[in-house]
Structure formats: C-alpha cells, structure tokens
Amino acid sequence: MLLQLIASLTPPSPEEMDMVERIIREATAKSKDGRIDQSDFLNHAASSARYSLFTPMEASIIFHFAGRGIAGQRLALLDFAQLLDPRWRPPHESLVDQKPHVASTSILHSVLHSSYNFVQGGESFFVGVIHSIVSLTFSRVCWCLWCNHRVSN
C-alpha cells in the first residue's frame, strides 16, 4: 500500500531539485553557523525569486525528510545530502504492481460469506438501537431524579 502511494506521487523534475539545492546552498552559505531552519529556507526562497516558489507545506516536507523526522532543528548542507542525491530512483515497478494472490472460492462460499456479513451488520444495528433506547431512558430517569420529579409510566 505504501509503495503504491509513493509510486503514485510524481517525483520533482531535475530542474526543480536543482532549484531546491541552489536555495539550500545559498541559504546555508549566508547563515552565520552554516545551518538553516524552515523559516530561513522560506525567507531565502522568497527573496531570491520573483514569485513564491515553495509553500510552507513543501518546506515542511523537505525539512522532515532531511532532518529524519526530528522537527524544529537547524540543518546543515550535509543533512540535505541524501535528499538531494541525483542517483535516487523510484521503487521498481514490479514491487508496485504486485497484486495479492486471491484464492478462487466457490459460489456457496461467497453466498455464505455475504450472509455472515449481513447478519453481523444487523446485529450491530440492533445493538446501536438498544444502546440509544437505554441511554435515553437512563438520562430521562437521571433528569427526573435530579429535578425531584416522579418518573411517569
């Protein structure tokens, strides 16, 4: 499931990754300690381009993966190395396209399975109705006792 989700995402183009790398390199070079946080990244991206290049969510994703899930830390250029690695490739298509093996079942088995699910749904409905009736009756009794009223039949 996770592999299918990852494969469905379109990877960024090399030009977009070059832009990310350029912004990270320039922002870390301008900082005093050679480290940047998410706001430094967004500020430098906004000041170095005419239009807004990144949303805060995109910056959050970049820093999440570069910081290996630890939020709020200042990262150096070396921390972004794995994220910016041009040799990274998407997972193999064969792993994504694997379908789970479904055993063939008889018609009788299918009918029995559907009947079982129907009965389970009916029981759940019945329990929900009974619960509603009991909770309403209980709340009415409590209300009447609290108000010093007699419960009517």
- Are 33 and 79 spatial neighbours (Cβ–Cβ below 8 Å)? no
Residue at which a domain ends, from 47, 77, 96: 96
pLDDT for 147: 65
Domain total of the chain:
2
- Are 91 and 3 spatial neighbours (Cβ–Cβ below 8 Å)? yes
Residues 113 and 89 reside in one and the same domain: no
Give the CATH number of the domain where residue 34 resides: 1.10.238
Residues 42 and 7 reside in one and the same domain: yes
Task: Give SS3 for 35.
Answer: strand
What does the alpha-carbon distance between residue 30 and residue 47 come to, in Å, rounded to a whole number?
13
Residue at which a domain ends, from 96, 117, 140: 96
Cα dihedral 148, 150, 152, 153 sign: positive
pLDDT in tens, 12-59: 677 777 888 888 889 899 989 989 988 888 888 888 877 777 788 888
Domain that holds residue 41: 2-96
